[in-house]
């Protein structure tokens, strides 16, 4: 499998990180990018300039990107996973590879695979197993699909932590989604518990009891990290959790917890959007986030 020209659909945080990491790899001759912001008059010029400064070629649309790329990487929000596959499928080069990084349910990924494979290209799903920024392109990824093992070899040669887990599409996303229920659920639980404890003025009693039960966790530090991540990426997390809820449904269960987690993540995202959490950086205490949420409630 020889992949020299890469196209990125989605040039947000993840797209930029992958572009920066893949552009200098041996054998990669060109990296291009398309993002919906390139179609918006208010943001097109700024994003195009930023991409060029990154060494990435902005293109006019999905069709142009797919026509030029041998490896197309989809890095959009969970809710746009299927829409991107639908837009890309008619324009993919025969034999090209479509790597789907998005956090979506097994059923959604299987729909995408049917579109991409039906167009004569090769669909590979990726379960991205933790937050991308600390790792860059070396973020641990599980791959699934008929060509997953071949693609894993290529990605590993580029220094990536990619491992094929199944030839059947849906396995990697199931692993990712089940993990998300736990991780995003912990975030939601911590925010709800800590904020409520702060509102009652009992946090100095609650957190020590958590430390007694789970002594291996730094609960204040963990709380600060969870608040900051959800405040910054709550909308994306809420969309991912809706896909996690769909994963539970596809397994034949009612997603009581996953649906509630999505609602909590969305609530924090809405608070951040409305300004309750503005000017709070990643180094602040969890109490600062909680105080803002309490003040917003009282307001």
Shared domain for 148 and 179, answered yes or no, is no
Q: What is the pLDDT of residue 2?
A: 87
Please report, rounded to a whole number, the percentage of residues in the chain having pLDDT higher than 70.
99
Q: Specify whether 144 is located in the same domain as 112.
A: yes
* Same domain, yes or no: 90 and 178: no
Q: State which of 168, 190, 225 marks the end of a domain.
A: 168
Cα gap 146→161, rounded to integer Å: 19
- The domain of 280 spans 173-298
Determine contact, residues 188/264, Cβ cutoff 8 Å.
Answer: yes
pLDDT beneath 50, residues of the chain: none
Span 241-272, pLDDT tens digits: 999 999 999 999 999 999 999 999 999 999 99
Three-state SS sequence of 136-150: HHHCCEEEECCCHHH
- Among 168, 197, 213, identify where a domain stops: 168
Other CB atoms within 10 A of residue 34 CB: 28
Quick one: pLDDT at residue 283?
A: 72
This prediction's pTM: 0.91
């Amino acid at each position: 499998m020889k992949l020299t020209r890469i196209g990125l659909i989605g040039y947000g945080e993840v797209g930029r990180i992958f572009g920066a990491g893949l552009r200098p790899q041996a054998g990669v001759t060109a990296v291009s990018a398309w993002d919906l912001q390139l179609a918006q008059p208010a943001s097109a010029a700024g994003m195009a300039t930023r991409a060029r400064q990154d060494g990435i070629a902005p293109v006019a649309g999905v069709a142009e990107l797919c026509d030029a790329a041998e490896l197309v990487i989809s890095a959009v929000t969970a809710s746009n996973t299927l829409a991107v596959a639908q837009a890309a499928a008619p324009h993919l080069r025969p034999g090209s590879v479509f790597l789907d990084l998005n956090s979506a349910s097994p059923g959604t990924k299987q729909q995408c695979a049917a579109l991409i494979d039906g167009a004569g290209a090769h669909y590979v799903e990726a379960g991205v197993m933790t937050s991308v920024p600390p790792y860059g392109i070396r973020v641990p990824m599980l791959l699934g699909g008929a060509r997953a093992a071949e693609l894993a070899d290529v990605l590993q040669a580029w220094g990536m932590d990619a491992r094929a887990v199944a030839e059947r599409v849906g396995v990697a996303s199931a692993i990712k989604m089940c993990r998300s229920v736990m991780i995003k659920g912990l975030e939601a639980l911590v925010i709800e518990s800590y904020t409520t404890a702060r509102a009652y003025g009992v946090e100095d009693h609650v957190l020590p009891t958590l430390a007694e039960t789970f002594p291996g966790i730094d609960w204040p530090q963990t709380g600060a990290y969870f608040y900051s991540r959800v405040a910054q990426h709550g909308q994306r997390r809420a969309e991912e959790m809706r896909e996690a809820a769909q994963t539970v449904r596809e397994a034949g269960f009612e997603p009581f917890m996953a649906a509630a987690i999505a609602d909590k993540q969305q609530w924090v995202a809405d608070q951040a959007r409305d300004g309750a959490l503005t000017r709070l950086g990643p180094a602040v205490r969890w109490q600062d986030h909680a105080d803002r949420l309490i003040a917003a409630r009282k307001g």
